[in-house]
């Protein structure tokens, strides 16, 4: 009788569910964010980031935007190397993001198909305990859905409108 031996190798993945191993309760997912919630929001938090591998080197960054209806808007950028920079954004940033989210279909988009070859990115919007997150894998020639691309382009345009806030270590020099 011949024996058949099967080996299963799992790298970079986890099997099973998101259960807490002690209590066996599923973690509660945040309620879905809708345009109606965004319309009445006083604060919107946006996380956007991505990473890619080119020339044998990995690069990544993530931006954490905190936007308030009072006009206080900021962004903190974190890079792979652990460096961080903080920025002040124009007061109208809250209204502009709110308008994009209400007018577009971004909040109804699901994770976009693709493959993790050399790049991927994510975009998450949270307000009032409700959240919508989207993971975008390598997409053919950057041909993203228009509602995702609109938000992505807007966030990219903020690089020309932001003002760096000196870190406390820089201001002590």
- Can you give the residue ranges of every domain in the chain? 31-54+61-161
**CATH tag for 31-54+61-161 (out of 3.40.50.1370, 3.30.450.260, 3.30.1560.10, 2.40.240.10):** 3.30.1560.10
Contact by Cβ (8 Å): 87, 166: no
Percent of the chain predicted with pLDDT > 70: 65
Which residues partner with 48 through β-bridges?
A: 63, 123
pLDDT, tens only, 100-133: 999 999 898 886 665 555 567 788 999 999 999 8
- Looking at residue 16, its pLDDT comes to 39
Single out the residue of 109, 113, 100, 115 nearest to residue 133, CA to CA. Answer: 109
12 vs 61, higher pLDDT: 61
Confidence label for 152 from pLDDT (cuts 50, 70 and 90) = confident
- Looking at residue 147, its pLDDT comes to 86
Confidence label for 17 from pLDDT (cuts 50, 70 and 90) = very low
pLDDT, tens only, 45-90: 999 987 765 666 667 889 999 999 999 999 999 988 889 999 999 9
Contact by Cβ (8 Å): 13, 95: no
Q: Please determine, for residue 4, whether its predicted confidence score (pLDDT) is greater than 70.
A: no
Instruction: Note if the pTM is more than 0.95.
Output: no
One DSSP character per residue, 52-80 reads: EEETTEEEEEEEEEEEETTS-EEEEEEET
Mean pLDDT within 146-173:
82
């Amino acid at each position: 009788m011949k024996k058949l031996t099967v080996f299963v190798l799992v790298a970079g993945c986890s099997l099973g569910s998101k259960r807490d191993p002690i209590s066996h309760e599923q973690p509660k997912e945040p309620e879905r964010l809708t345009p109606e919630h965004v319309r009445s929001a006083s604060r919107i938090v946006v996380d956007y980031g991505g990473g890619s591998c080119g020339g044998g080197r990995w690069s990544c960054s993530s931006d954490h935007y905190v936007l308030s209806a009072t006009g206080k808007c900021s962004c903190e950028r974190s890079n792979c190397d652990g460096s961080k920079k903080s920025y002040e954004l124009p007061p109208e940033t809250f209204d502009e993001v709110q308008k994009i989210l209400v007018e577009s279909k971004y909040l109804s988009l699901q994770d976009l198909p693709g493959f993790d070859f050399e790049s991927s990115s994510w975009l998450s919007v949270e307000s009032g305990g409700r959240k919508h997150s989207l993971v975008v894998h390598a997409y053919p020639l950057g041909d993203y859905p228009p509602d995702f691309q609109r938000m992505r382009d807007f966030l990219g345009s903020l690089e020309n409108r932001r003002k760096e806030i000196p870190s406390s270590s820089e201001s002590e020099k």
